[in-house]
Structure 1
Amino acid sequence: MEAFSELMGRIDTWIWGLPMIVLLLGTHLFMTFRTGFIQRKTLTGIKLSVTKDPDSPGDVSQFQALTTALASTIGTGNIIGVGTAVFIGGPGAVLWCWLTGVFGIATKYAESLIAVKYRVQTKDGRMQGGAMYALERGLNMKWLGVIFALFAVLASFGIGCGTQINAIAEVIQSNTPNFTIPSIAIGIVFGLITAVVIIGGIKSIATVCEKLVPFMAVFYVLGCVIILCLNWDFILPAVKAILTLAFTPGSVAGGLVGRGIMMAMQYGVARGLFSNESGMGSAPLVASAAQTRNPVRQALVSATGTFWDTVVVCLMTGLVLVTTIMKNPDINMDMIQNGGQMTTAAFSQIPVFGPLILVIGIITFAYSTILGWSYYGERCAEYLFGKKAILPYKVIFIAIVVVGPVLALDLVWTIADILNALMAIPNLVAVLLLSGVIAKETKHYLAHLDEKDETPIPVVDK
């Protein structure tokens, strides 16, 4: 197992090296210019997200599609993932994580647009879409769509399940010192709760996410604001450290060390993608199920997910971590072995508020991610093997929820990182090769947002 972990670590370092960073950030920048800086329409997207379009084809409302996507993206990556980025890459990783979110808005918009444009409908009336249909119908590259779907199914067991339930178990056990809760017991409880929700399909998942996501996001952000108010005297020094150590090696108060631009970029970008999933092709899987009159409307709504997830939530976490560690020299960085421990140490310095925000934040963020990713994996499993694959997939997914708490967290994170990259590559191919279609649709529908889409939705035998 130790040799396997080392091998996975080497693969992770290689796959998330300079080529992947260039591909990911390059796509973000290219699509930003190709769409005419679509980030400027973020407020329009927010407005559309709470506007119903019931007469349009789709399975769930635009808001439900957004909250389901946010359920999967606002997860442990926003808390533990940011902590890992800061722990390994230094405070400067926060800047690269944030920039990945800012420019990633354009890629999230682009991948969601083609997911809706090339979606299909099953004979029983369900919408199906995502990178695999864009690759198959838009580029005649079904083989690459199959590869994407396969990696997405595998990723759903890692990023969408294993890392999340593992984090839930760890935070519950570390905050109940007076009695021991067996890891498997936590897995069984959450496995049962998950089964009740996901057996009902997208409508059941969307109904839960619609109520859970706004509550958990507002609670966490307000909690972070309170902590930052307590740390107000270290906000400017923290911002200076983040900006400086994003480009140069060095150290600041609190034992935080910046290891240079490559380490900061590698872990900032990797955790940024893990957090907001822009370019990975996951959120478009549910965007294609939304009731929307044209692809651009839902693409604008989906793009706001990256804004809320990284531009707001991850930035809040990064500032809380850096300001708290700089303000509390009692935190012994030499004794900390991973990002999760650093996050726990930082939040525990804030009486009452810190541990409460951390515990509730991780449990709700992680559980909502499990729900969202169960739908992603289900859609991809159905694409690969047909409708008969849905029930077996759900059984396997629930089983992983049950056994997830006893898995080795570091190894699970590493494998999840690798699968993220392997999913992103075929999805980014679709986005880049269909960029002309994206630019054309954007130019037309931005001027006619209420116009009905004239693209027919074919019925397939799935």
Structure 2
Amino acid sequence: MDMDQLAVLVSDISGFVWNNLLLYLLVLTGVLFSIRTRFVQVRHLGTGFKRMFGSFSLNGKKADHEGMSSFQALTTAIAAQVGTGNITGCATALASGGPGAIFWMWLSAFFGMSTIYGEAVLAQKYKTVGEDGHVTGGPIYYIKARFKGGFGTFLAGFFSIAIIFALGFAGNMVQSNSIGDSFHNAFGISPLIVGVICAAIAAFIFLGGVKRIASVTEKLVPVMALFYILGCTVILVINHAALIESIKSIFIGAFQPQALAGGIAGVTVKEAMRYGVARGLFSNEAGMGSTPHAHALAKVKKPQDQGIIAMVGVFIDTFIILTLTALVILTSGALSTGATGSVLAQTAFNQAFGQFGSVFIAICMLFFAFSTIIGWYFFGEVNVKALFGKKAVKIYAALVVVCVILGSSLKVDLVWNLSDLFNGLMVFPNLIALIALSGVVAKMSHEDH
């Protein structure tokens, strides 16, 4: 079997895992948590936004061995959530599932907000102090707390290895490739040069530990979100005549995709649902076990306080950033060109901004993908420390830097497909623990916040 055949085989397995198992499991987990927490995402989302704006700071107190501020934990989580999926992932969902995919994206995110609430609450409840005296936490700790003995050790170990590979190595190659691609398209710069520069900056941040990671994300995330939101808003003002029709197409496409004029031929409700849910969950990471590593470190009075803040991350990722991307693409008419992925997004932005569209996308890709590299590195680091001890962190950091350089100019389908597969595999141990601990989350969610 050659590399190409192996890549196809891995892609088929990954497709089966995501489309036939995870899709339903993640949504059902969200429904379960919504019911058991009495729809905490409705009851307390307003509180979450109040707390976020109340603790907003571009230069907060430095993170230390006891953790970081609640706002820094949120920005570290959002750094990972808002990635290339918000541009290319959204474009792919629209190209494959039609405008209706966005409705199903919203629905999965609505339920996903209760899942991420549960993840953050459990990460806080079961956080611990590592051998280096630093507070640490994440799914491995609540998995071990729920499942004692060999089974818990196996599940936690499986999760750790999957996340280190899925996010730290392969995932970060995917992110740096997006940066390299978009800069090459916009400015004609060699992707390898872009990759080396990104890797050097990333290495500087990694070596500063959690203190530097928190300090960078609290500044980078609000700036990148504001820059993107402003750019999209300008385009929607330019394309305002098509805005109402575009919003209508999202609702019609969700239930009657064939009723849309100029829609994508052959798209069914099932496809709109599948692509919308899959890309939405892949983007906001609710239930995937990644963001709890950041939320565990927040200095809060009660675990529920960080659960409420965590929901804001999913809201910003899906209901604001992803929705703006979708509306820009729909109002531009670019969907009818047959383009897909980042090309579709660039076509839509070019339609309003001219050649500056490619530059705008390149800058946003740099912001989005680079912040994800920082977040994903950190999530992997927590698991490297837990599995191999503090001494292994420098080796892990060096390997991630190499992956960022290689990924920028090297697109190996097998690596990309393996990233998808391991991304899916790491979800299973996390979901098993989440469902088993849903009673604990339900009880805590009914206490005063």
* TM norm. shorter chain > 0.5: yes
Identify the residue that residue 48 of structure 2 maps to in structure 1.
45
Change in Cα spacing, 1:181 to 1:165, as seen in structure 2 (3 Å) is: same
Question: 1:196 deviation in Å?
Answer: 0.5
Name the CA distance, whole Å, in 2 between partners of 1:56 and 1:191.
25
Tell me the alpha carbon deviations over residues 405-462 of structure 1, each in whole angstroms, 9 at most, x when there is no partner.
1232765543333222211111111111101100111112xx1x3xxxxxxxxxxxxx
SS in 2 for 1:349: helix
Cα separation, partners in 2 of 1:256 and 1:395, compared to 1, 3 Å: same
TM (normalized to structure 1)?
0.89
1-structure distance, mates of 2:65, 2:369: 31
Equivalent residue for 1:113? 121
Q: Does the 8 Å contact 2:167/2:423 carry over to 1?
A: no
In structure 2, what is the Cα distance between the partners aligned to 1:258 and 1:49?
43
Pairing 1:23-62 to 2, within 5 Å after superposition: 23-40=25-42, 41-51=44-54, 58-62=66-70
Aligned to 2:201: 193
Deviation track 1:17-62 (CA, whole Å, cap 9, x = no partner) reads 2332211111111111111111121121122235569899931111
Q: Is the 8 A contact 2:91 2:329 kept in 1?
A: yes
Match of 1:11 in 2: 13
Q: Contact 1:235 / 1:323 at 8 angstroms: preserved in 2? A: yes
In 2, the alpha carbon distance for the partners of 1:201 and 1:221 equals 30
Which stretch has the larger CA shift, 38-47 or 255-264? 255-264
1:144 CA drift (Å): 0.7
In the alignment, structure 1 residue 350 sits paired with structure 2 residue 352: yes
**1:209 lines up with 2:212 in the alignment:** no
For residues 42 and 158 of structure 1, the distance between their equivalents in structure 2, rounded to whole angstroms, comes to 34
Instruction: Note the residue ranges of structure 2 that are not aligned, 5 or more in a row.
Output: none
Quote the residue 2:409 is aligned against. 406
Name the residue aligned to 2:102. 94
**TM-score normalised by structure 2 residue count:** 0.92
Deviation at 1:160, TM superposition (A): 4.0
Work out whether residues 106 and 303 of structure 1, in 8 Å CA contact, stay in contact via their aligned partners in 2.
yes
Alpha carbons of structure 1 residues 409 and 363: separation in structure 2 relative to 1, 3 Å: farther
* Mapped contact 1:248–1:259 kept (Cα < 8 A): no
Contact 1:66/1:287 (8 A) holds in 2: yes
* Contact 1:86 1:339 (C-alpha < 8 Å) held by counterparts: no
Amino acid at match of 2:161: L
- Identify the residue that residue 264 of structure 1 maps to in structure 2: 272
AA aligned to 1:37 is F
Equivalent position of 1:382 in the other structure: 385
SS across alignment from 2:300: coil
Distance in structure 2 (CA, Å) of the matches to 1:258 and 1:212? 41
What count of residue pairs does the alignment treat as equivalent?
437
Q: Conserved in 2, the CA contact under 8 Å of 1:165 and 1:404? A: yes
Distance 1:416 1:437 in 2: 32
Does the 8 Å CA contact 2:166/2:419 hold for their aligned counterparts? yes
- What is aligned with 2:341? 339
1:166-224 deviations in Å (ceiling 9; x for gaps): 00001000012xxx422222211111010001111111011011001001101111211
2:72 touches 2:214 (CA, 8 Å); kept in 1?
yes
Question: Which of 183, 191, 201 is the aligned partner of 1:172?
Answer: 183
CA distance in 2, matches of 1:395, 1:16: 31
Alignment-derived partner of residue 24 in structure 2: 22
* 3-state SS of paired residue (2:109): helix
- C-alpha displacement at 1:265, in angstroms? 2.1
Q: Does 1:235 align with 2:237?
A: no
Distance 1:253 1:171, change over 3 A: farther
Deviation at 1:257, TM superposition (A): 4.2
1:430 is aligned, of 433, 438, 443, to 433
Task: Give 3-state SS (helix, strand or coil) of 1:16's partner.
Answer: helix
Maintained 8 Å contact 1:131/1:145: yes
The one of 156, 159, 165 equivalent to 1:154 is 165
When residues 274 and 318 of structure 1 are mapped into structure 2, their CA distance, relative to the original with a 3 A threshold, is: same
| Whole-angstrom distance in 1 between the partners of 2:415 and 2:86 | 17
What is the RMSD of the two structures over their aligned residues, measured on CA atoms? Answer: 2.2
Q: Whole-Å Cα distance in 2 between the matches of residues 186 and 372 of structure 1?
A: 19
Quote the residue 1:163 is aligned against: 174
Tell me which protein shows more helix as a share of its residues: 2
The counterpart of 1:312, out of the listed 320, 334, 351, is: 320
Amino acid in the other structure paired with 2:25 = L
Identity %: 38
The code of the aligned residue for 1:167 comes to: S
Q: Determine helix, strand or coil for the equivalent of 2:129.
A: strand
Task: Give me the whole-angstrom Cα distance separating, in 2, the residues matched to 1:311 and 1:369.
Answer: 19
Q: SS of 1:382's equivalent?
A: helix
What secondary structure is seen at the aligned counterpart in 1 of 2:299?
coil
| C-alpha displacement of 1:379 | 0.5
Is 2:290 the partner of 1:279? Answer: no
1:63 aligns with 2:67: no
Give the whole-Å Cα distance in 1 for the aligned partners of 2:252 and 2:184: 37
Give the Cα separation in 1 of the matches to 2:343 and 2:289: 30
Residues 183, 191 of structure 2: 8 Å contact kept: no
Q: CA separation in 1, counterparts of 2:303 and 2:65?
A: 11
Q: Which amino acid aligns with 2:388?
A: F
The answer to whether the 8 A contact 2:191-2:408 is kept is yes
- 3-state SS of the aligned residue for 2:49? helix
